[in-house]
Structure 1
Amino acid sequence: MKHGFVKAAALTPGIRVADTGYNAGQIKKNMDEAAEQGAKIIVFPELCITGYTCGDLFLQETLLEGAKEALKDIAAHTRGKDALIFVGLPLEMEGKLYNTAAVLHDGKILAFVPKATIPNYGEFYEVRHFAAGRKEAETILFDGEEIPFGTHILFRCDAIEGLQVGCEICEDIWAPDTPSTAHAVAGATVIVNLSASNETVGKDSYRADLVKSTSARLICGYVYSSAGEGESTQDLVFNGHNMIAENGTILAQARRFENESIYGEIDIHRLRHERRRMNTFVQDSKGYLVIPVHMEKEETCLTRTFDPLPFVPSDEARRNHRCNEILSIQSFGLKKRYEHTGAKTAVVGISGGLDSTLALLVTVRAFDMLGLPRENIHSVTMPCFGTTDRTYDNACKLAPTLGTTLSEVNIREAVSLHFKDIGQDSGNHDVTYENSQARERTQVLMDIANKVGGLVIGTGDMSELALGWATYNGDHMSMYGVNGGVPKTLVRHLVKYYADTCDNEELREVLLDVLDTPVSPELLPPVDGQISQKTEDLVGPYELHDFFLYYMLRCGFEPSKIYRLAKQSFAGQYEDAVILKWLKNFYRRFFQQQFKRSCLPDGPKVGSVAVSPRGDLRMPSDACATLWLEQVEAL
């Protein structure tokens, strides 16, 4: 279970109502299949040993004894199986009947967890047969053994730090005060639910929302196993709607009416990171019995996938909605800054590249919201040694097409004079050569802003800030950075969305050509008129860096885990050695360049990952990367 992944299974055996021997055979068969798949948490439906639809047969001694014998058979069958297994059956204690989950491991019955919420409305009449389970764990004598019995029991598995499993049964999740809430507060990171939820029109979507929202609210994994084919259809139909969820996301979901077995790998480390991050999640295990469960540590074979572009929704409709929402957040943030300062003009340095194009589009949108004329936006292009005709032409087309005021300040002479002042050889294309241009551009923009009484709008994006790919006190600085919360992989889609929805063919053509232009700071002279300095050749592909950034900051993953997931997500696109090279570069730059983020200009947060020192990333500028790089070097 390396890197915190535990494989769970939700199974629906084909049963016969009240035929406990047959049902035990089906349960054992399904259990064997799940064990072969590597499942460590195996969940069967509510009352599956007898069937949920037995009705008054639950009161028959013959059925209850048959259920006990079947459970003994099933428990013995678990011997040698390295899994925590949950099976439902009716069980009598002190003259009352309980709807329970028997919890099994390696040939033993670890505990009985009773259903806490007994429904008696609509098609349900469980109060006729069952009593509500008690919270505090007590013992019940079963087959000569004293077994814990109660709802407040957790199962702590030692193979993964933090893996604790709690159990609830069907209606419990529908109740206003769910047992799962108490379980999670007590430390459960996985909740299992043995269910027999019948099917009615529209109930499946509500049920799925319930499972998703519960896993999100409790920051846990949730394994839901439901009764299906084999239950009586005298009045109801059961469809085997099995689900496995993690923190608001459905990892696996069964096809209904097929008794389909499903599997999913729940990431315990990610859940623990999320709980650590959210200080409002407070744990209190008072009143709980915690039963230790030994499992062998092994690497879980992953069937779940990880999006190579975690910042970009793959579905077009969701992506378009996301783009519109981000543009609104950016422009509203800028709008507020203008309302506060009383400024009426803006200054944007435009290069013909993606970031400055997005910044200009956002500024235009903000000015339209404010009712300010677009000509008050001063679009400044500042060609120098590395500027190509393509980017220059696009900058010159973009500004007037949007209705802004275009001005050109050629900085060649100023930079050349600066080289003379500081003794820089213009033939030496080192970092001084490059940064002198970036700082000159920033000086020009700042001074023009003073002249016209406006604000300099920053263009740098979050991916550049993460890598420190910005000139300190150059393009690193502005009066408001609208792109500071937007990763590079998303910038492209924002510009594309604007192009597709602008209803201006001339503007659309310019934006599409900007999208087709290689990402470059254009600080080195072009070769044969073409861009000679391509950013991704120097710092690495931004799609890799955004992948690293997301899973490091948002999920708290360690380098070895990120590398493992990147190899899977980018298989066939990048060789393992290439991924490892840029992962090493990412960690080195991320730690070295924190000082640039520590004095970051104001700008709006737009997603769940941000690098502002005043918000999400309170990190010292002189923190050491030793631990992270040592792990990368060991890969």
Structure 2
Amino acid sequence: MRLLKVATCNLNQWAMDFETNMKNIKESITRAKEAGAVVRLGPELEITGYGCEDHFLELDTVSHSWECLKELLLGDWTDGILCSFGMPIIKGSERYNCQVLCLNRKIIMIRPKMWLANDGNYRELRWFTTWKQRDELLEFHLPDEISEDLSQKSVPFGYGFIQFLDTLRAVAAEVCEELFTPIPPHAELALNGVEVFMNASGSHHQLRKLDLRLRAFIGATHTRGGVYMYSNHQGCDGSRLYYDGCSCVVVNGHVVAQGSQFSLKDVEVVVAQVDLDAVASHRGYISSFQEQASCKPKVLSVLVPFKLCQSFHLQMSLSSPIEIRYHSPEEEIAFGPACWLWDYLRRSGASGFLLPLSGGADSSSVAAIVGCMCQLVVKEIANGDEQVKADAIRVGQYKDGQFPSDSQEFAKRIFYTVFMGSENSSETTKLRAKVLADEIGSWHLDVSIDVVVSAFLSLFQTLTGKRPHYKVDGGSNTENLALQNIQARIRMVLAFMLASLLPWVHSKSGFYLVLGSSNVDEGLRGYLTKYDCSSADINPIGSVSKKDLRAFLRWAATHLGYPSLAEIEAAPPTAELEPITSNYSQLDEVDMGMTYEELSVYGRLRKIFLCGPVSMFKNLCFKWGARLTPAEVADKVKYFFKYYSINRHKMTVLTPSYHAESYSPEDNRFDLRQFLYNARWPYQFRKIDELVEKLDGDKVIIEPHENGSAADGVGVVAAGSGNPKCGL
């Protein structure tokens, strides 16, 4: 038996914070060595942090990376253990995203990334160049200051693998995106005899995404054999993304070790002991593998005169296949944003959060996530995590040896909730907000904004001689909209004032971060007032759908111990910005002219399936044809694109949000489209009209859906004449 103990890591790195990153890297190596591992894999670009973005274009970032690597190599960190470190490197005039493989205080090989992530949230081609010379290993001359200190002038640079004395052709890197390409490197590397694949990754969390990742690891080794090591960042490294860890080791298609997906830990090391003879046996059993290996394209290698494997003895135990741990979407919504909020809070210098809590589903979801964060902090402290404890003592401003031991007590210190009611607010929502705040433990305030609204209207009347009225009182649509937006924007100003001054009132230092609570569907539709209380410092639910939030509320009512969330989830969504009368009650879906279910469908077709108006119409004729005529489908598609276009400008100023959904309309990084449209879409809408005329009376064939009827997601809602959150 050729036994090999390997270690892979979840690291909570912070972009451009080299000290924090080095501390975590060293801690991970120490733990790997203590466990007896002889291979240690860290995440992609771990020395700098993955999310440096345009900082990668700065020469300082590259030079600081070399300085950190030198520190690791001059110490005993790489003694007896093969370590892979991620960092940017400039070769000639090109900048590469590289894995630097080191052993015994020497650099063995530098492996540049060949296929770069360049879609969705990723822009690697903006900062790096792909490595294209697959058939040769070049000589890379180390920077002078590195070369002198290491007594090493050059190192092989390029695509290849490392061959050790006792593991055939053992170890090779496959960096993040390369695994998911049509022809991944591990395919030909396996045919060349590589047994251990090291995938350093920077992969963000997205709802329901983990299964796709794990299936890729399993598939890579099931048909080709091998040990697949996966390392990932975990935490918020400075942007909208939360990297969700889940580092793991897969052997011959079976997961034998798996790290956490959501955690407050800065360092987590996952160790597995594997038998490389099992890899050889697996490959020998597959006839097609043998045939293809006999005519493989050759991959170059670097020979290292060192033995990695341990000899067999009875005290050793092999890592056996384990059951993969998956979180439900509701748990993902709870734990992912909660961990992201904790990282943001402890690193921003803030003393806590302030949330405008309306008693509705969205703001209550945010409150529950903050409550979940408090529970996680208390739990990790009880489990002995000294870093979480130190951060919590500092943020909560504890004294005399005290620290959080109760989540409600901790919430009282770091979380303000404010119900900012008006004459249009109901007692029901006011009570819901109060009950939820008590369950979570937040410091709750009840504020009436009527006097401020009245002052604005009096000022306007003094300036113009006119006073606007609500539509139910005889006012026009313009007056009605303006009156609603005044309330919304006053709440934003009040929230930021309270976040700045309440700590001072309570003799606390620092400031509080204002939390937003608009969901992804409202952002897509533009159903929010520009610069209202949707404008905040950060928003943990900004790319979560209303459907998923409602499921989360039902789950959290039981599993987080906040039972009032069940009643909040059951209530119909309403903005409460207009007077309630005996024959009129303002409802979000009526105001929007579409349901939240429909918005999710529009969002996925627009972003994920890249549909314009005509393509969306054609798709929905099949999807919704059982209940709607082509003309009715056309009206819905036109209505959506009209208001999407009118309100696209709002997406340029959406509060920075936790990224959780693949159809997010967030304009800054993810959804790059213009914000000035011809909202009439004359050419596209004319084409739809022509198709409607052609299809009118035709019978649409409806294909059955595996998980529901063909009409799933359709709700018949009249297009409201008003648009109370338009904010134009």
TM-score (ref. length: structure 2): 0.42
Higher Rg of the two aligned structures: 1
TM-score (ref. length: structure 1): 0.48
